[in-house]
Structure 1
């Protein structure tokens, strides 16, 4: 069971890392300001999910040392902040595009 969860979260981390890099590249290459903001917000959402998945692996799937739990909690909080900021910015830029 634990081995399966490690594979699933590992795959999710790889996918969100790829999406984060893709949206970062797209936001830097576009000339339109609205598209740039939309791609940057999608990058923040992907990065936030990636950090949350890393935190879940750190805190729950390995033996619990205090340092591992603290680092996992920091990643989790940073991931939540990125996720919230990305969702807020995405709603703002989608409203501007309409």
Structure 2
């Protein structure tokens, strides 16, 4: 079971890491403020997903130490916050301007 989780979580971490780096680069290079905000929101979503995957690794694939559980819980809270903030910002900035 641990092998299956490891084969699912590690590629998820790597893919979301690459996506957050790409969206960060595009956000910083964009001249238009609206496009910059959309890429920043996508970066937040990618970072939130990455933090969730890291939290799942800490909670399920590591030993049962209290420190790992606390670190996993902190990463889980930060990941959920980034995910929802990114989704909110993406919905605000991707709607057509009237």
Q: Which residue of 2 aligns with 1:78?
A: 78
Q: Which residue of 1 aligns with 2:48?
A: 48
Counterpart CA distance in 2 for 1:48 and 1:96 is 25
The within-5 A match list for 1:1-98 is 1-97=1-97
1:54 touches 1:72 (CA, 8 Å); kept in 2? yes
Q: Distance in 2 between matches of 1:96 and 1:47?
A: 25
How high is the TM-score relative to the length of structure 1? 0.96
Size of the alignment, in residue pairs?
98
Q: Is the 8 A contact 1:23 1:40 kept in 2?
A: yes
Structure 1 unaligned blocks of 5 or more: none
Q: Could you list the runs of 5+ residues in structure 2 that have no partner in the other structure?
A: none
**Offset of 1:95 from its aligned partner?**
1.6
